[in-house]
Amino acid sequence: MQGGESIITIGAVALLTFTAININNSFTEDDQFFNETRFGLEAIALASSIIEEASQLPFDEQSWDSTKIEKIPTDFTIANSLGPDFGETDFATFDDFDDFNGFTEAETTLQNVYNISCNVVYINPAYPDIESINRSFFKKLSVSVSSKVSADTLSLSYVHGYWYFN
């Protein structure tokens, strides 16, 4: 092999190595994108199922009181007492919307472990992103889902209103 042929051979090997490294990086980026997408879809499904479960429950335990014909916000649970009552530990025992306040769970799927946490607060409908210390006809449930596979935390919120008919 002459000097020129050696240089061409070295160049070809270098080009082949460079191409192989780029293809490997491309596969790695695709895997990362796939994992992030899977995290997003599974996290949305988990958060949505909790919101769906909570939205089926009555607004407040006090809303069941049939001795009062017309409810006012001061009839409802005070803000710092939102959460499950004694003995209410999971979905099966929750009997009103605010029982989800402080609820945490680690949900395991085939691929990941997701950490779910819930927070319920009263809100003023004019300012739904601001927690209100005053009782109102509106409560907001925020569900946060995180996992080791993603640096992001997904948060979904749902506003539950109390309505009554005379």
Asked if 79 contacts 122 with a C-beta cutoff of 8 angstroms, the reply is yes
pLDDT value of residue 30: 57
pLDDT value of residue 152: 83
pLDDT value of residue 155: 93
DSSP secondary-structure letter at 56?
Answer: T
Q: What is the pLDDT along the chain (166 residues), one digit of tens a residue?
A: 565 666 666 666 666 566 666 555 555 555 666 777 778 888 899 999 999 999 999 888 877 666 665 677 878 888 888 888 888 888 888 888 999 999 999 988 877 899 999 999 999 988 889 999 999 999 999 999 998 877 788 999 999 988 766 5
pLDDT value of residue 111: 77
Q: Could you tell me the pTM of the whole model?
A: 0.77
Q: Tell me the two tokens of residue 41.
A: 């879809």
Total residue count of the chain as it appears in this document: 166
123-to-32, 76, 104 alpha-carbon distances in Å: 38, 13, 22
